[in-house]
Amino acid sequence: MKIKETSEFSLIHSLTKKIRAAGSGSVLVGIGDDAAAFRMGNGKNLLITCDMLVEGRHFLRDKITPRQLGCKALAVSLSDIAAMGGVPRFAVVSAGWTPELEVEYAQEVYRGMGELADEFQVSIIGGDTVSAPQVILDVAVIGEMDGAPVTRAGAKPGDAIAVTGSLGASAAGLALLREEEAAANLSEKARQALLRAHLEPYPRVKEAGMLLKYGPPSAMIDISDGLAGDLYHICESSGVGALLEVSRLPVSESVKQAAATLGSSFLDWVLYGGEDYELLMTIPPGCVAGVKKAVEMLGTNLSVIGKVLHKREGIKILSKKGAAFELEPRGFDHFAAFK
């Protein structure tokens, strides 16, 4: 079977099934969550995650500035650490550069990465620099936390499903990059906001700190595959069902305007678009008010968008008119998207 005939998740499973069994005693979370976690023996737990961006697959050099690219390459890994409830501390960067590239381009990538690292007090402490046929960035981030990592596996029936910020803006931004002519009909302000959401995702690290302090959530994931796909990851890991309510999904006016302008469905972007890098979580009912208040002290909305059901009840979405549908289990398959 060829790589293109498999899915990202079944490939990962087939590659790592033997490794999963081997995990050592100090490993708290192995392959298959947003980040791995291991015990340090002093009450602290460390987290580690890595994300690779390949030119032509994850970005086009003429659509993203090098500063934005550096920023995004780090942001996606910071987001994974946040999704476990951790505080990012250190990063190492493997970079592949094409021989014909201007050195200034690489410097701008590092400038973008350095700015975001400074903002979150993350130290870039090492890496590797190689020659490659296209630009490649792989950032590994180490985070730490005192308590237990928040995995995808703790959701319980009755928990509220909540999400930070708003959804669909990154997918809208990607659509605008692909259809530049149509995009010209959109207000400049909306266009800028959506492009920024796609090109400069902002990891919810501070929000994760508040969530841990005033929660913690029973399960959490960052939205990289789209709300539907990532909700499925939580439901599968936790052995639960879920009900989402369309009327409660946080969607900005800019996203709605862009969908209208491009003749697209904003709900499609929200559910299946991916790369929002918002935190999707489940919260025990008694904690919802406190958690919401804490996150909103940071100026970030926290929206309750549904609730966790028993597994036998399935994974559903309630339309604005009150009809319940099975939620399609597809997510944005980063792997399939470029086959």
Number of Cβ within a 10 Å radius of residue 103 = 8
Copy the structure tokens of residue 158: 């009755």
Angle between helix 66-83 and 103-119 (nearest 10)? 30
Could you say whether residue 107 binds its own copies (CB under 8 A)? yes
- In the complex, the smallest distance separating the C-beta of residue 31 from its own copies, rounded to whole angstroms, is 5
At a CB cut-off of 8 Å and minimum separation 6, what does 257 contact? Answer: 186, 187, 190
DSSP state of 153: S
24 binds its own copies (CB under 8 A): yes
Strand-pairing partners, residue 37, are: 29, 47
Sheet of 315-318: strand order equals 219-222, 279-283, 160-164, 302-310, 240-245, 315-318, 324-326
- The answer to whether residues 19 and 28 touch, using CB atoms and an 8 Å cutoff, is no
Neighbours of 72 (CB within 10 A): 26
Using the rule CB under 8 A, is 304 a contact of its own copies?
no
Residue with token string 């028993």: 310
94 binds its own copies (CB under 8 A): yes
**Per-residue contact flags (x/-) with its own copies for residues 198 to 237, judged by CB under 8 A:** ----------------------------------------
| Span from 36-44, 153-161, 248-256, 314-322 in contact with its own copies (CB under 8 A) | 36-44
Which of residues 88 and 215 has its CB atom nearest to its own copies in the complex?
A: 88
Question: Which of helix, strand or coil describes residue 179?
Answer: coil
Q: Which are the contacts of 26, defined by CB distance < 8 A and separation ≥ 6?
A: 38, 39, 41
Output the furthest CA–CA distance in the chain (Å, rounded): 58
| In the complex, minimum distance from the CB of residue 129 to its own copies, in angstroms, rounded to a whole number | 5
Nearest to 310 by CA among 85, 134, 157: 157
Candidates 55-63, 183-191, 205-213, 258-266 — which segment interacts with its own copies by CB under 8 A?
A: 55-63
Query: Could you tell me the smallest distance in angstroms from the CB atom of residue 75 to its own copies?
Result: 14
Check residue 110 for interaction with its own copies (CB under 8 A): yes
Identity of the residue, 26 or 247, whose beta carbon is nearer to its own copies in the bound complex: 26
Residue closer to its own copies by CB (options 107, 192) is 107
In the region spanning residues 120 to 159, those forming contacts with its own copies, defined by CB under 8 A, are 121, 123-134, 136, 138, 140, 142
List 61, 63, 65, 106, residue binding its own copies (CB under 8 A): 106
Taking CB under 8 A as the binding criterion, the range among 12-20, 184-192, 251-259, 318-326 that sits at the site for its own copies is 12-20
Q: Which of residues 239-258 bind its own copies (CB under 8 A)?
A: none
Contacting its own copies (CB under 8 A), which of 61, 65, 98, 196? 98
Q: Contact between 64 and its own copies (CB under 8 A)?
A: no
Nearer to its own copies by C-beta: 11 or 288?
11
